[in-house]
Amino acid sequence: MNNTDKVNHWEKVYATKSFEEVSWYQDKPSYFIDLINKLNLPKDVAIIDVGCGESKLLENLHKEGFHHLTGVDISNIAIEKNKKNFSHLQPAIEWIASDICLFSPNKNYKLWHDRAVFHFLRDPSEIEIYIQQTAKHIEKGGYLMLSTFSKNGPLKCSGLDISSYNHEDIALLFESNFEIIYQSYHDHETPFNTLQNFQTSILKRK
CA atoms lying within 13 Å on the CB side of residue 49: 26
pLDDT at residue 192 in the model = 77
DSSP helix/strand/coil, 96 = strand
pLDDT at residue 21 in the model = 65
* All structural domains of the chain with their residue ranges: 3-10+28-205
Partners of 203 in the β-ladder: 144, 180
Contacts with 163 (C-beta within 8 Å, 6 or more apart), sequence order: 118, 119, 120, 121, 122, 127, 148
Exposure string over 14-40, b if 16+ CB within 10 A, otherwise e: beeeebeebbbbbeebebbbebbeebe
pLDDT at residue 23 in the model = 61
DSSP one-letter string for 63-88: HTT--EEEEEES-HHHHHHHHHHTTT
Q: How many CB atoms lie within 10 A of CB 113?
A: 27
pLDDT at residue 71 in the model = 98
Low-confidence ranges of the chain (pLDDT < 70): 19-21, 23-25
Rg (C-alpha) for the chain, rounded Å, is 16
Where do the DSSP E strands lie in the chain? 46-50, 68-73, 94-97, 109-115, 138-149, 156-157, 160-161, 178-189, 195-205
Q: Taking the chain, what is the end-to-end CA distance rounded to the nearest angstrom? A: 33
- Is domain 3-10+28-205 classified as CATH 3.40.50.300? no
> pTM for the whole thing?
0.94
Q: Which amino acid is at 114?
A: D
Instruction: Choose among 67, 119, 77, 73: nearest CA to 99.
Output: 73
Q: What is the dihedral of CA 49, 79, 83, 25, to 10 degrees?
A: -60
DSSP helix/strand/coil, 202 = strand
DSSP one-letter string for 157-173: ETTEE-----HHHHHHH
